[in-house]
Amino acid sequence: MSQFRFDETEEPEEFDEVGEYYFQISEEPGNDKRFILIIYDIVDNRRRVKFAKLLSGYGFRVQKSAFEAMLSRQKYEKLIAEIPGLIKKEDSVRVYRITGKGQVSSWGEGTEWEEEEVILI
């Protein structure tokens, strides 16, 4: 069994810079916009890459397995209809539809992620 040793005198790196942005989605019946957060855990590399490419057509990647999007009702319904065809039982996808006022704070690495490439031999 491996054991990890830590230098107890070493302080963890702190992140002083906070990225923040705000959004407001009206709950009025006439409003057609939805703020969406999609998080996923897809086991198979090929399915995961295909799923990420689908999501990049709707919003932007904020973490390796998380996307945010501002969608019309029609685009939201289209996305929801497409998801079941791309995943299997062992995968997990969550779509959060957020309304009202919101604030997002983030720390750490930026939101730019490289495209995943899968090479099968």
pLDDT of residue 20 exceeding 50? yes
Give the mean pLDDT of 39-57.
Answer: 96
pLDDT band, very low/low/confident/very high, at 33 (cuts 50, 70, 90)? confident
Q: State residue 6's pLDDT score.
A: 40
Domains of the chain: 31-106 (3.30.70.240)
Q: What is the pTM of this model?
A: 0.69
Core vs surface per residue 102-113: b (16+ CB within 10 A) or e: eeeeeeeeeeeb
Taking all residues of the chain, what is their mean pLDDT, rounded to a whole number? 78
